[in-house]
Amino acid sequence: MEQDTGVENGERRLEEGVRTDFTAAMSYADYLGLDTLLASQHPLSEPVHPDEMLFIIQHQTTELWFKLIIQELSGARDFFDADNNERARKSIARVKHIMRTLAEQWSVLATLTPSEYAEFRGVLGSASGFQSAQYRAVEFLLGNKNTSMLRLYAEGTPERELVEGALRSPTVYDAFLRALDRSGLAVPQSILERDVSQAWVEHPELTGVFEQIYRDPAAHWEAYATCEDLVDLEDAFQFWRFRHLRTVQRTIGFKTGTGGSTGVDFLKRALELTFFPELITVRTHLK
C-alpha cells in the first residue's frame, strides 16, 4: 500500500483542520496588529536607500523590547515589595535574556558599512537613540537616574510622563533592599529612606550586608541567588552597551552623534556606570 506523504504535485497539502476563512474569526495578523506594525516604517531618503529600512527596523524592534523590559522591571519591583522573590527573579531573568538578544542584534546593524550609512544619515536630522524615552526609563528603573535628562521631553507628553515617573519611583534595587531588610538583614535606614529620584551611588555601609549573604550562602540562599541574578543582569546590560559602542565606532568612527552627543566617547563613559556597585565590591572583601 502506497504511503500518503501529504505531498501532491510537489506541494504539501493543507491539513483538513486548518482554518482558511477569517471573515468571522481573529487571524494572526489581526491579533498582532500587523497592518499598523508593518506600515510603521517610513524611509525618508530619496530615492529610498535600501539600507534605511534596516536602520529603522533595528531601532523599532529595540523599542518593542524596551517596552517589555519596562514591564518586567516594574513587575520585579512590585514582586520584591510583595516579598515574592521567586517571581521577581523570573522577571529579572527574562530581562537578562532580552538584553542578550538585543546585544546580538547589533551584529545585524554592523552589516551597514560606513559608506552605506553616510548615504542616508543626513535624513535623520537630529534624531538619535539618545532621545529614547523608553531606554531612559529602563536606566532609571535600574538606578542610573539623571534629572537633566527630563529636558529632552516636553512637559505634558507621554514620553515626559514615562521618564519622570521612572525618575520619581523606587528602583528595582531599592525594592530588593527593602525586601532584604524585612527578611532580617539590617539594611541601613539612611539607604531605605533615601531620595529615590537621585542616582544610585555606592554605599560602603551596605557592603557589610552583602558580606553576610556571601559568607554563608546556605543560610541566605534566596538572597544570595537574587544577588547573582542582579549581577547577571548588569553583565548583560554592559555587554549590550559594549556592542553598541563597537557598532557605532565601526560605522561612524569618532563623529559627533546625530543628537549632538560626542558619540563613541559618550558611549565609552557609559561603560563606567554600574547599577549595583556593592555587589561587585563585596567580591573584593571575600577570602
CB proximity list for 41: less than 8 A, separation 6 or greater: 53, 56, 57, 60
252 is in an annotated binding site: no
244 is in an annotated binding site: yes
Residue 133 Cα distances to 58, 147, 151, 166, angstroms: 17, 13, 11, 10
Distance CA 181, CA 185 (A): 5
56 is in an annotated binding site: yes
214 is in an annotated binding site: no
59 is in an annotated binding site: yes
DSSP for 120-184 reads TGGGGTT--GGG-HHHHHHHHHHT---GGGGGGS-TTSHHHHHHHHHHHSPPHHHHHHHHHHHTT
Work out the angle at residue 57's Cα, subtended by the Cα atoms of residues 163 and 162, and round it to the nearest 5 degrees: 10
* The C-alpha cell that represents 228 in the structure block: 547573582
Distance CA 86, CA 144 (A): 25
Distance CA 126, CA 34 (A): 29
Distance CA 46, CA 43 (A): 9
- Supply the angle between the helices 221-252 and 85-109 in degrees, to the nearest 10: 10
262 is in an annotated binding site: no
42 is in an annotated binding site: no
Extract the annotated binding site for substrate.
Answer: 55-59, 117, 121, 258
Annotated binding-site residue numbers:
55-59, 117, 121, 244, 258
Q: Which residues are annotated as a binding site for heme?
A: 244
